[in-house]
A and B are shown apart, each in its own frame.
Chain A
C-alpha cells in the first residue's frame, strides 16, 4: 500500500512522518515528497497510525487505494488558540499583547512555586526569584514594571512597599494564589499585558492578569501519568569570612584608626596564639556559619494523574505529594494536594465543568531566624562544644543554637477551591455560561519559642531565655465568585462578530485571631491552654470583608480575517470606595490588520506567512487600598490610672471619603510575524502606560495630628519594548535532529511623573539602603552620596574641606559635595543606582535527537544595582561577618592604592550610603539545563506503557555577575543579605504514561 502525507493547512508534503501498521512493528517513514510505501501481507482493511513531532497523531484506514493524509500541526503559532479573559481566541485574530506558555514548559525544572517556573519564559514578565525558605519562597512577578507604591513603608530596610504591584491571578475563572499550585495540573498560563486584554478585569487589572487553566480530562480510555523527581538543593551564595590572621590584623588596625584601646585579643602576640592554635574550642574561628549551618538537602515530588471518559462525562483526578527539606536544618515544606476536574455533557446544548481542589501545606521553620546572625552579632562563637552546649558571641548569639533549640514555628494551610460552570448553547450563535466558585483558606500558625539557658563553657557568657512563649494564629478567608456570561457569535458573509456580555460579583470575608501565652511547664507542652493564665496572656483579632460587583462586555469584529477590532468595557463597583467613587468604568479598544491576508502580500507569502500589526489603548484600575479607608472611626486606645487599666477610644486616621480608583492608561503597539513555513515567529511590542491617581499615604502636615489617609495622587509612567523570537528547525531528516530556539528581550523604563507637589519620599538610613521616590526618578531609586575615591593626604583633605566626619584622615572616603556648600550632609545625596532592572532577557533552546532531548534556559537582567548593607558593607567596623574581599585590600599608609577605605572601628564615616556600596546587579545565568531520554516506544509496547522518559536537570548552574565576588545572588534585593540562601537544584526525574 502507499500514500502521501501533507500539512493540513499549507498542503506542503511532510518528510519523515512515521507510518506504522497498527498492532505490528511494521513501519516506514515518508520521503521528501511526503510519499510512503508499506509492504505488507496483511489483508485490507487495516489501520495505520501516523506520527510526526509537532503534529497531532492520526489514524487512517487502509482499504487498498492510495491514501492522502493530512496532518494538523499542534504548535502553529498564529493558529493557536489563546486563553483570554472569559474565553479563548485564535491567536491570528488577537489584537492584544498576550504571552502564553504551556504546562510542559513549567515542569522542566523543579521549583518550589509557579512564579519561579515563569522566570525567563515570557517577555514583559519580570520574575525576581529571591530564593526563600521552603514554603516561603520569595518570588515576585511584575508585569511591565511597577506602577504603584506605598509611601508608608514601615520597614526602613527594604524600601517602599511594592506589594500592590502584584498581578491578578485567575485560576479557572476565580482569583487564587499562584503559589503552590501543582505545576503538573497546569495546561496553560497566559499573561495579559496590555490594557485591551486586561480592561475586562477592570479595577484589578493594572498590574497585568495571569490566567491559569488547569488540565481537563481527555476522552478515551483511562490514561495514567506519573511525574516524579528527586532533587538535591545546595546553597549557591555562601559569603566567605576573612581568614583569621587577616581578620585579627584588620581589627587591630580598625581599633587603632578609631583612636580606641586595642583589645588584648588583637595584640600581636594574641594574634599569633589564635592563628597557631589547634584547639578551635578555646580559640574559635571568627565566623563559620555559612559552612556550619548550610547543608545539601533533598526535595522530592510525586504527581499522579488519571484521566479519561466518554463523550458524556470525562474526569481527570490528580494527586501530588511534595516534600522539600531546607538547606538549613529545621526548615521544610510539605504539600499534599488532590484535584478533580470533571466535564459533563448533559445534553447536546448543555454542559457542565466542575473543578475541586484541596491542598494541604505544612511549613516549618525555626522561631528565631538564624540567618540574620550568620552575618551579625555572632562572631567568635564556637558552633557547638563536644558536650552539646553552644558557644556564644559577646552578644549571646549563636545561629546554630537558635536553629536547634530556639523553638519551631509551624504553619498549616488548608486550601479548598470548588467551582462549577454550566454552559448552555441557547442557539447556534448564542450561549450562556454561569460560573460559581467558592474558595476557603484556613491558616493555622503556631510559633513556639523555647525557654533555655546556655552557658558558653569557655567564655562563661550566658544566654538565658527565661520564658517559653507561644503565639497561635488563625486566619480564615472565604470568597465567592459568581460570573455570568452571554456570548453571541455570528458570521455575516465576511463580517465576523463576537459579542460577550457579563456580570460578576465577588464577596470576600476574612477573619483573623491570635493568642499568646508564655511560661509553659516545659518546651514540650505546646498547647495554648497550658500557658500561664495571668495578665501576660493576650489575644487579638480582626474581621474584614469586601465585595466587588461588575458588569462587562466585549465586542470582537473582523472583516475577512484581515481587519480586526475589539472593544472592551467594564463597570466595576467596589465596597472599598463610597458614594460617587464606588463605581469606576474601564474601557479599552484595540485593532489589528493582518497584512499577510492582503492580495499585495502574496508575493512575500512564500517567505513570510503571517504578518499582523495591532494596537490597543485602554484603561484599567487598581483597587488595592486598605479596607474602610473612607470610614471615620475610633479605635481602641486604652490607658491606665492608678495601676488599673481603663478603656480609651480615639481617632487615629483621617478619613478620606473622596477616595477613588487608581487607573492606568496603556498604549500598546505590536507586530506579530511568522516566516519560513511559520518556523520563525517574531513578536514585538511597544507600550507606554501611565498610572494616575495612585493611592498614596501622601504626607500630610503633622499638625493635622492624624495618620494620613490614602489619597488619589501621583502618576507613574512605564514604557518599554518587548521582543520575542522563536525558531523551530525544519525536520524531515531521518536522523531526527531537531531543535527550537527562542528568546526575548524586554526593556522597561519607569518614572514617577507627579507626586502632587509632595515628596521626595526617602526611606532607609546610613546603615541600610536608602531609597527615594521623587518626581522624574524611577520608583525606589537608590539614593546616597557620590564618592571620588579616597583621601590620600592631609593636604588633600584640607584643600577639599567638605568632609563627612569632623576628623577625617587619609584613607577615608572622599564624598562628593554635590551642592558645593563646603560640607557633606543629606542635601549632597543623589541618585546612586537603579533597583529595578531596565533590561530582562531569556534564551530558551531545546534540541532533540532520536530519543534524547536537551533543553537549556539562560536568563538575566541588566542595568540594575544592588546596595550592600550591614556586615557586608561594614568591613568589620562593627561586630559582624567580615568578607574576605577586604583582606589586604583596605587603605593603610603602606597600601594607598587599596580598593577599600581604612577600617575605623565603631565608625560610620566610610560606610555611609554611597555609590561605593552599590554593585552592578547585571547578570546572566544558566537557569536550567535538562537532559532527557525517552525509552523507544517499540520497547514499551509489551509493557503497555505509552511513554517513559527519564531526565536529569540542574538549575542555577552558573551565573555571570559582578556580585559573584561577594558570593551574593544577583536576584536578591539590596540590603543586609540576611535572606535564606539561593539554591542550585540537581534533579533526577521520570515521566511515565500508560
Chain B
C-alpha cells in the first residue's frame, strides 16, 4: 500500500495509548513496523502512467502501425531550406546564426549544424532499426499485406536518411540494428560503395512492396514511385548514371506522376498532394506544424525572419523570357530593370520589387524605401533585398509560426531532370533527354520557355540541364548537393554576396552584403564528421582537410 494515511488513522492509536496502557503502546509500535514491512514492496515501486512501457508494446499489429507512423517525423522538413543558403543561390541573412558560419566557410567539426544534421539522420535510422527489430516479434499479425508494407516503409525511410547522410558527410557508418552505447563507440565508417550499395539494394527490395498510391489518411506514406525516385537521386549522387537513368525511367513509366500545370501554385495549400508530389513531409497547423512562413517570409509580414534569402547569383541564373541567359547580348536583359521579361519561375520563386505581399502591401526592398523590408531597416530584413516566395502562403499570415503546409522532398520535375542529367553524363543522349528537359521548360501552363536547341554537345547539354535543375528546384534544398557533385562549388561560392539593383538619386546601384565567403576545395566538399562523435569513437576517421 502506498502511504496515504489520514491523520485520523494516526491519531486514533495515540489516543488509545494515552487512555489505556503500555501494552497498547507496544502494539502500536509493532503495528507501525508491520505496516512498514507490509507496504515495503509498493512504496518504492512507482510506475509512470504518462508513458508507455516497452513491455506493454509490440503486442498487436496496431502497435506496428503507430510505430511506423512516428518514423515519418524524421523526414526532413524546413531544415532543407538551409542547404541552398550554403550555395551561390542563397544566403544566410543573419551573420551570427549558426548556419552563417557554414555559409561563410568558417565552420569546423564542432559546428552545431554539422552535429544536428548528423544526429537527426541517425535518430531516424535508429528509430527505423528499432522498429524493424521489434516489429517481427509481434505475435499475431492479422493483415500480412499491411504488415509487410510497414516494414518496407521503415526500410525506405532509413534509406532516405542514408542518402542525406552520405551526401553531406561522405561515407558514414552503416547501422541496420539498434546500437548500444558500447557498440556505437566502436563504429567504423563504411566505404562509399558499401553505403550506396546498401541504399540501392534496400530501395530495390522495398519498391515492389510499396503501393503506387494511397488514399485518405494514408496519403503521404512511402510509395513505389518514391522508392525509385530516391534511388535515382542516390545513384545520381553516386555517379551511377546508368542506374540513375533506369530508376528515373521507372518512375516516368509508372505514369502516376505529371508536372502540376501551375508552377506558381506548386507550394500552396490548395495543391497539396498534387500529381507532381512524390514524397513530402506532411503537416497540419496546430497539430503537427512547421513555421516556414516565419522562417522565410519578408520582415514586413509579421516580423518574419528572412532566415535564408536569395542572392543576386541565384536570381541571375534565371533566363530571360526568350530562353537565353542574361549575359547573352540577344537575351533582351535590361540591367536597369532586371526583373522584367524573365523566366516566369523567377517571379514565382522570389519576391521582387513591386510584388504584392501576403498582407496586401507592396514589397519595396530598396534601402531607404521607408518600408519595413528596406535593406538596412533592421538586421532581420533581407540583406540582399530578395526573399524566398516558395511556401509563403497568405493563409499563414495570421499565425506565421503555425503552418500546415506540406514540404515537398521529391517531386516529379526532379526525376525528369535526374533522368536527363544521368543520360547526359552516361553519354547515352537521345531524344528522351531533350524531352525531359523541355517538359520542365514548357509544359506547364505558366512556364513557357522555348525548348533548348537540338543537337547540343554533351557539354552544352550538361550546362543546360544543370541550369534547368538549379532554376526549377531553386531554394528547395537540392542545390547544395548539385554544386558538390558538379565540383563547381569552389568557383561559385567564394567571394562577396550581392543583392538587388536599386536606384539612388538616379544612379543604379547594386547591394553588396558585407560578407566574404570562403570555400576550400581541399575540404569543404564534405562536412566534417562531428567532433563529439569522433571524441567518443576514435575509430571514426575524419574527412580529408578537417
**A-side interface residues toward B, CB under 8 Å?**
258-261, 263-264, 346-347, 350, 352, 394-396, 418, 420, 422, 424, 432, 434, 436, 438, 461, 464, 466-467, 480, 482, 484, 503, 505, 507, 535-536, 538, 541-549, 573-575, 582, 627-628, 631-651, 654-655, 699-706, 758, 765-767, 806-807, 825-827, 878-879, 906-908
Q: Is the CB of A640 within 8 A of B287?
A: yes
Q: Is the CB of A394 within 8 A of B54?
A: no
Q: Is the CB of B10 within 8 A of A420?
A: yes
**Number of A-B residue pairs at CB separation under 8 A:** 264
Q: Is the CB of A261 within 8 A of B376?
A: yes
Closest Cβ of chain A to B22, distance in Å, is 9
Chain A residue contacts of B55, Cβ below 8 A: 632
User: Which of B40-48, B135-143, B258-266, B318-326 lies at the binding interface?
Assistant: B40-48
Q: Is the CB of A420 within 8 A of B7?
A: yes
Chain A residue contacts of B45, Cβ below 8 A: 575
Max chain B Cβ within 10 angstroms of own Cβ: one of A394, A395, A641: A641
User: Quick one: given A638-B69, A907-B95, are A702 and B48 in contact (CB under 8 Å)?
Assistant: no
Chain A residue contacts of B180, Cβ below 8 A: 704
Chain B residue contacts of A545, Cβ below 8 A: 46
Measured in the bound complex, the distance between the Cα atoms of B69 and A536 in whole Å is 22
Task: Select one of A396, A639, A765 contacting B288, CB under 8 A.
Answer: A639
Chain A residue contacts of B63, Cβ below 8 A: 649
User: What band does the interface of chain B fall in when counting residues whose beta carbon is under 8 Å from A?
Assistant: 35 or more
Measured in the bound complex, the distance between the Cα atoms of B2 and A546 in whole Å is 11
Chain B residue contacts of A702, Cβ below 8 A: 115, 118-119, 122-123, 530, 532-533
Chain A residue contacts of B178, Cβ below 8 A: 705
**B-side interface residues toward A, CB under 8 Å?**
2-5, 7, 10-11, 14, 17-18, 25, 29, 32, 36, 40, 43-46, 48-55, 57, 63, 66-67, 69-73, 95-96, 98, 106, 108, 110, 115, 118-119, 122-127, 129-130, 173, 175, 178-181, 184-185, 187, 214-221, 272-273, 282-288, 302-303, 367-368, 372, 376-380, 383, 398-399, 504, 512, 514, 516, 518, 530, 532-533, 535-537
Q: Is the CB of B72 within 8 A of A642?
A: no
User: Quick one: given A547-B44, A641-B219, A654-B181, are A434 and B283 in contact (CB under 8 Å)?
Assistant: no
Chain A residue contacts of B110, Cβ below 8 A: 826
Q: Which residue of B lies closest to A350 (CB)?
A: B18
User: Quick one: given A480-B3, A705-B124, A906-B379, are A258 and B514 in contact (CB under 8 Å)?
Assistant: yes
Measured in the bound complex, the distance between the Cα atoms of B538 and A533 in whole Å is 55
Chain A residue contacts of B217, Cβ below 8 A: 641-642, 644, 646
Chain A residue contacts of B184, Cβ below 8 A: 700-701, 703-704
Q: Which residue of B lies closest to A656 (CB)?
A: B181
Q: Which residue of A lies closest to B272 (CB)?
A: A643
Task: Select one of A461, A631, A765, A878 contacting B53, CB under 8 A.
Answer: A631
Q: Which residue of B lies closest to A708 (CB)?
A: B181
User: Quick one: given A640-B287, A645-B288, A646-B217, are A700 and B29 in contact (CB under 8 Å)?
Assistant: no
Chain A residue contacts of B95, Cβ below 8 A: 906-908
Q: Is the CB of B18 within 8 A of A703?
A: no
Q: Is the CB of B48 within 8 A of A633?
A: yes
Chain A residue contacts of B14, Cβ below 8 A: 352, 422
Measured in the bound complex, the distance between the Cα atoms of B36 and A545 in whole Å is 19
User: Quick one: given A436-B7, A699-B536, are A546 and B29 in contact (CB under 8 Å)?
Assistant: no
Task: Select one of A396, A418, A878 contacting B7, CB under 8 A.
Answer: A418
Q: Which residue of B lies closest to A257 (CB)?
A: B514
Closest Cβ of chain B to A265, distance in Å, is 9
Q: Is the CB of A704 within 8 A of B181?
A: yes
Measured in the bound complex, the distance between the Cα atoms of B55 and A700 in whole Å is 24
Q: Is the CB of A639 within 8 A of B282?
A: yes
Chain B residue contacts of A767, Cβ below 8 A: 96
Chain B residue contacts of A704, Cβ below 8 A: 122, 126, 179-181, 184
Measured in the bound complex, the distance between the Cα atoms of B302 and A633 in whole Å is 40
Q: Which residue of A lies closest to B381 (CB)?
A: A394
Measured in the bound complex, the distance between the Cα atoms of B4 and A766 in whole Å is 52
Chain A residue contacts of B29, Cβ below 8 A: 432
Task: Select one of B43, B57, B124, B187 contacting A549, CB under 8 A.
Answer: B43
Q: Which residue of B lies closest to A904 (CB)?
A: B514
Q: Is the CB of A825 within 8 A of B372?
A: no
Q: Is the CB of B287 within 8 A of A543?
A: no
User: Quick one: given A645-B288, A651-B54, A704-B179, are A263 and B368 in contact (CB under 8 Å)?
Assistant: yes
Beyond known contacts A641-B217, A642-B220: 19 more, CB 8 A cutoff: A507-B2, A536-B286, A545-B46, A633-B51, A633-B54, A635-B51, A638-B287, A639-B69, A639-B70, A639-B73, A640-B220, A641-B218, A645-B287, A648-B73, A654-B181, A700-B536, A765-B98, A825-B108, A907-B95
Q: Is the CB of A644 within 8 A of B372?
A: no
Q: Is the CB of A705 within 8 A of B283?
A: no
Pick 8 A–B contacts, CB within 8 A, sort by A. A505-B43, A547-B2, A628-B51, A633-B51, A640-B283, A642-B214, A702-B119, A705-B123
Q: Is the CB of A642 within 8 A of B273?
A: yes
Q: Is the CB of A705 within 8 A of B126?
A: yes
Chain A residue contacts of B285, Cβ below 8 A: 535
Chain B residue contacts of A394, Cβ below 8 A: 372, 377-378
Q: Is the CB of A632 within 8 A of B17?
A: no
Chain B residue contacts of A467, Cβ below 8 A: 398-399
The 4 residue pairs across chains A and B that have the minimum distance between CB atoms: A705-B126, A648-B70, A642-B219, A702-B119
Closest Cβ of chain B to A463, distance in Å, is 9
Closest Cβ of chain B to A766, distance in Å, is 6
Task: Select one of B4, B71, B118, B398 contacting A480, CB under 8 A.
Answer: B4
Measured in the bound complex, the distance between the Cα atoms of B14 and A347 in whole Å is 12
Measured in the bound complex, the distance between the Cα atoms of B48 and A546 in whole Å is 10
Measured in the bound complex, the distance between the Cα atoms of B50 and A542 in whole Å is 6
Q: Is the CB of A706 within 8 A of B96?
A: no
Task: Select one of B72, B130, B516 contacting A806, CB under 8 A.
Answer: B516
Chain B residue contacts of A699, Cβ below 8 A: 532, 535-536
Chain A residue contacts of B40, Cβ below 8 A: 549
Closest Cβ of chain B to A203, distance in Å, is 12
Q: Is the CB of A627 within 8 A of B368?
A: no
Q: Is the CB of B287 within 8 A of A544?
A: no
Q: Which residue of B lies closest to A878 (CB)?
A: B379
Chain B residue contacts of A507, Cβ below 8 A: 2-4, 43
Measured in the bound complex, the distance between the Cα atoms of B63 and A634 in whole Å is 11
Chain A residue contacts of B17, Cβ below 8 A: 350, 424
Q: Is the CB of B43 within 8 A of A634?
A: no
Q: Which residue of A lies closest to B98 (CB)?
A: A765
Task: Select one of A432, A438, A535, A635 contacting B286, CB under 8 A.
Answer: A535
Task: Select one of A422, A645, A705 contacting B284, CB under 8 A.
Answer: A645
Q: Is the CB of A705 within 8 A of B48?
A: no
Closest Cβ of chain B to A50, distance in Å, is 40
Chain B residue contacts of A700, Cβ below 8 A: 181, 184, 536
Task: Select one of A264, A627, A705 contacting B125, CB under 8 A.
Answer: A705
Q: Is the CB of A631 within 8 A of B514?
A: no
Q: Is the CB of B44 within 8 A of A549?
A: yes
Closest Cβ of chain B to A781, distance in Å, is 17
Q: Is the CB of B122 within 8 A of A544?
A: no
Q: Is the CB of B122 within 8 A of A634?
A: no
Chain A residue contacts of B215, Cβ below 8 A: 642
Closest Cβ of chain A to B326, distance in Å, is 25
Chain B residue contacts of A258, Cβ below 8 A: 514
Q: Is the CB of A395 within 8 A of B303?
A: yes
Task: Select one of A466, A482, A582 contacting B44, CB under 8 A.
Answer: A582
Measured in the bound complex, the distance between the Cα atoms of B288 and A538 in whole Å is 12
Closest Cβ of chain B to A805, distance in Å, is 8
Q: Is the CB of A907 within 8 A of B514?
A: yes
Q: Which residue of A lies closest to B18 (CB)?
A: A346
Q: Which residue of A lies closest to B402 (CB)?
A: A536
Max chain A Cβ within 10 angstroms of own Cβ: one of B46, B69, B272, B378: B46
Q: Which residue of B lies closest to A912 (CB)?
A: B96
Measured in the bound complex, the distance between the Cα atoms of B537 and A705 in whole Å is 15
Measured in the bound complex, the distance between the Cα atoms of B334 and A754 in whole Å is 66
Q: Which residue of A lies closest to B120 (CB)?
A: A702
Task: Select one of A396, A538, A548, A641 contacting B282, CB under 8 A.
Answer: A641
